[in-house]
């Protein structure tokens, strides 16, 4: 799938966003290595801590459908600047693929491409949780 099609699907996600408090709609489209696409949007809640970002919505939908091998993530919003994944989303993204390609489009239609590990250097991973001899961590 080409980048423009993936960005178009992310735009569809943005239109479905539930953002009554911030008015800031974000859409994401996650392409798996098998060629499946999962669309996400941000979902706000009056208790802001219970809100969910578009990127994690797409990832969680993919995982719920049995997919865990991700290739590319497209992110769009109506911002004049590029909308980068938040810290929580960055951690979730590197969990599945530190080399994940992330394409962002701003309001002017300009594109920026990053890798997940570039956005979160020295990330926490399962290797950090390896047990010491004797089962103690």
pLDDT above 70 (res 137): no
Q: How far is CA 10 from CA 18, 41, 76, 119, in A?
A: 14, 8, 6, 20
Predicted TM-score (pTM) of this structure? 0.92
User: What domains does the chain contain, in order, with CATH numbers?
Assistant: 3-125 (3.40.140.10)
User: Could you tell me which residues come within 8 angstroms of residue 61 by beta carbon, excluding any fewer than 6 positions away?
Assistant: 30, 38, 39, 40
- Does the active-site annotation cover 55? yes
Residue whose tokens read 């941000």: 42
User: Could you tell me which residues come within 8 angstroms of residue 29 by beta carbon, excluding any fewer than 6 positions away?
Assistant: 6, 7, 9, 10, 12, 13, 37, 38, 39, 40, 58, 73, 74
> Which residue among 11, 55, 114, 130 is the active-site one?
55
Signed CA dihedral, 93, 98, 100, 106: sign only: positive
pLDDT in tens, 59-86: 999 999 999 999 999 999 999 999 999 9
Q: What is the mean pLDDT of residues 96-118?
A: 97
- What was the pLDDT predicted at 133? 56
Question: pLDDT grade, residue 132 (50/70/90)?
Answer: low
């Amino acid at each position: 799938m080409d980048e423009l099609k993936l960005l178009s699907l992310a735009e569809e996600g943005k239109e479905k966003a539930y953002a009554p408090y911030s008015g800031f709609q974000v859409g994401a489209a996650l392409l798996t290595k098998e060629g499946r696409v999962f669309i996400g949007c941000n979902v706000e809640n009056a208790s802001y801590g219970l809100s969910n970002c578009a990127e994690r919505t797409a990832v969680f939908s993919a995982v719920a459908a049995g997919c865990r091998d991700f290739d590319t993530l497209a992110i769009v919003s109506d911002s004049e600047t590029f909308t980068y994944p938040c810290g929580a989303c960055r951690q979730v993204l590197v969990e599945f693929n530190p080399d994940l390609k992330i394409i962002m489009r701003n309001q002017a239609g300009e594109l920026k491409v990053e890798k997940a590990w570039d956005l979160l250097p020295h990330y926490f991973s399962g290797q950090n949780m390896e047990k010491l001899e004797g089962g103690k961590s």
